[in-house]
Amino acid sequence: MPMMRAVDAIVLILEKEDATEAFGLPGAAINPLYSAMRQHGGIRHTLHRHVEGASHAADGYSRASGKIGLCLGTSGPAGTDMITGLYAAIADSIPMLCITGQAPTNVLHKEDFQAVDIESIAKPVTKYATTVLEPGLVPGTLAKAFQIMRSGRPGPALIDLPINVQLAEIDFDIDAYEPLEPTKPRATRGQAEKIVDLLLSGKRPIIIAGGGVINANASDKLVLLAEELNIPVSPTLMGWGIIPDDHRLQSGMVGIQTHTKYGNETFLASDVVLGIGNRWANRHTGGLDIYRAGRKFIHVDIEPTQIGRVFSPDLGITSDASVALDAILEIVRERKSAGTIPDYSHWANECTARKATNHRKTNFDNIPIKPQRVYQEMNAAFGQDTTYVSTIGLSQIAGAQMLHVYGPRRWINAGQAGPLGWTGPAALGVVRGKPGEKVVALSGDYDFQFMIEELAVGAQFKLPYVHVVVNNSYLGLIRQSQRPFEMDYHVSLGFDNINSPETNGYGVDHVKVAEGLGCKAVRVTDPAKLAEGFAEANRLAEEHQVPVVVEVILEKVTNISMGAQLDGINEFEDLALEVGDAPSALVPMTSGTRVSA
């Protein structure tokens, strides 16, 4: 068996596990691994400006590609910088591998320079975290990490490598190495029959499709099930795109923040709910008394401890979404052939017609610009093949209410954790995961400022995307949540910029910062110029192959519709439109559809 350094074995294993996209920063304690990557090739590395940014990029890559992204860093603070990225990944069931360097094993107990127990720190936000103390354990540890990340509910792992372990010689033959088979629960035929029995017992059934369907690459199967039964589908925030927005059975998102009015109305009219690959998140359900009233629930999820975590369903089944859908489809088709499937045409048509009503007003001509107009123009400017990236704040909430998404992995969002600063570096990872495709990021000014230095990564490595920054120089969501306290306290980011009088009152000159970091930027202050600004951004990204920032100067205070209950959403600047005035789901929507008042 050939002898080689442990790090050389690691690079060969990463290639065989198809984890070949790395994001990170070299350093003394991880340089051996970098030397192996340089010598062998096969692993593409993107150099970041902050290790947290690298972790978000690896996360974004994993979400966009369906593969496992790598985040690499040295000992000490590099590992602690990864923790927010690991939290964002585990919260949304995203597999990603972090590898850290570490001080030599003989000084781990001596408070050596940049020696920290990263294994213990990372365990609460990973599926698997370990410090490898014996060189011979390196291959088996990686095999175990990949198996755990892919098994059951996916999630991230961290492997910590003391420098002497990295450099040690081990016996290793890559031809004898094979990835371990991940374990996934499988619904039985009997369980699938019970699901179908309960689902078809209602007169107005609906499917809630979560991110687990996307993780299982089962979006097409879910759409087929909806079409076979002719019943509506409401994607969760993490499942947005499973069924295209212009599909007649896409009934709108449900929730108290990220939702559509027609989506909530359809859900409240339903009587049986099949949730698959979802976790009944609180921003989806709102108050459970309203959410559950008058409805029976079926919950299918890959993680057994998700069943009953928020509330006890009438039927709970632990299964991989793809396997469950295969079993359900088989039974549905048998019963359809036998003529025992109820006719849900009236219910389906009612839900489809509802999509042509109750759209919120977007066609504002105000200066400063109202945010609703921005999303109207984004729908017109960016095609159905666009992948959107966003994370938190009023910008993300309004975007989810008003944008359109047309396929799985085309809405990339840090849903549960929602870390400020995630959007920019995650978008870089998405560009790596979807080379040549249109990527558009959406941030408020605060999210954008959190990791603004990562723009330089996109400039250096020619990673083009368009970053729409809706700038109201406010912590908008926090300001809105302060309203019950009758305060507006430390939520304004505005000031008079002595170097940029044109931004006075709004503070940071994002255009100058972006240009200083090697990118292109456009500022829009007039809603009539939004289409022109987005077209210019598309052109600049294509021509220069760098990130292009579109800063839109908004009015400082805008309240976005939300509430605590599905039937108690507070509406602001709202106008329910008549049938025909809004994009109708009776015919496919287009990327150029505009909702006007």
Report pLDDT for 94. Answer: 97
Where among 301, 320, 354 does a domain terminate? 354
| Residue 330: Cβ within 10 Å count | 14
Give the whole-angstrom CA distance, residue 94 versus residue 553: 34
Report pLDDT for 113. Answer: 74
Note whether 146 and 226 are same-domain residues. Answer: no
100 touches 75 (CB < 8 A): yes
For residue 67, give Cα distances in angstroms to 61, 215, 470: 8, 10, 31
522 touches 549 (CB < 8 A): yes
Q: In which residue are the tokens 């990490």 written?
A: 145
Q: Residue by residue, what is the 3-state secondary structure of 218-236?
A: CHHHHHHHHHHHCCCEEEC
Confirm whether 143 is domain-assigned.
Answer: yes
Confirm whether 51 is domain-assigned.
Answer: yes
Domain count, the chain: 3
Confirm whether 577 is domain-assigned.
Answer: no
Confirm whether 58 is domain-assigned.
Answer: yes
Q: What is the pTM of this model?
A: 0.93
Note whether 229 and 343 are same-domain residues. Answer: yes
Note whether 168 and 227 are same-domain residues. Answer: no
Confirm whether 573 is domain-assigned.
Answer: no
Note whether 243 and 166 are same-domain residues. Answer: no
Where among 176, 200, 217 does a domain terminate? 176
For residue 369, give Cα distances in angstroms to 223, 259, 464: 38, 22, 26
- Single-letter residue type at 593: T
Note whether 51 and 199 are same-domain residues. Answer: no
Report pLDDT for 583. Answer: 44
Q: What residue spans of 125-260 are helical by DSSP H? A: 138-150, 163-167, 189-199, 211-215, 219-229
Domain that holds residue 63: 3-176
CATH code of the domain in which 524 resides = 3.40.50.970
- And the tokens for 220? 């097409």
Tell me which residue of 499, 392, 375, 369 sits closest to 446, measured CA to CA: 392
Report pLDDT for 395. Answer: 87
Note whether 235 and 276 are same-domain residues. Answer: yes
Note whether 400 and 459 are same-domain residues. Answer: yes
142 touches 13 (CB < 8 A): yes
Note whether 389 and 523 are same-domain residues. Answer: yes
Confirm whether 569 is domain-assigned.
Answer: no
Confirm whether 466 is domain-assigned.
Answer: yes
Note whether 169 and 307 are same-domain residues. Answer: no
For residue 299, what is the enclosing H or E element?
strand 296-301
Confirm whether 74 is domain-assigned.
Answer: yes
Where among 354, 382, 412 does a domain terminate? 354
Angle at CA of residue 496, ends 494 and 499, nearest 5°: 125
Report pLDDT for 590. Answer: 33
Note whether 318 and 379 are same-domain residues. Answer: no
Note whether 198 and 165 are same-domain residues. Answer: no
Report pLDDT for 575. Answer: 53
pLDDT (tens, 9 = 90+) of the chain, 597 residues, equals 789 999 999 999 999 999 999 999 999 999 999 999 999 999 999 999 999 999 999 999 999 999 999 999 999 999 999 999 999 999 999 999 999 999 998 877 877 777 799 999 999 999 999 999 999 999 999 999 999 999 999 999 999 999 999 999 999 999 999 999 999 999 999 999 999 999 999 999 999 999 999 999 999 999 999 999 999 999 999 999 999 999 999 999 999 999 999 999 999 999 999 999 999 999 999 999 999 999 999 999 999 999 999 999 999 999 999 999 999 999 999 999 999 999 999 999 999 999 888 888 899 899 999 999 999 999 999 999 999 999 888 889 999 999 999 999 999 999 888 799 999 999 999 999 999 999 999 999 999 999 999 999 999 999 999 999 999 887 767 777 777 887 777 877 777 888 988 888 888 899 999 999 999 999 999 999 999 999 999 999 999 999 999 999 999 888 888 889 999 888 876 555 444 444 433 233 333 332 333
Note whether 377 and 507 are same-domain residues. Answer: yes
CATH code of the domain in which 302 resides = 3.40.50.1220
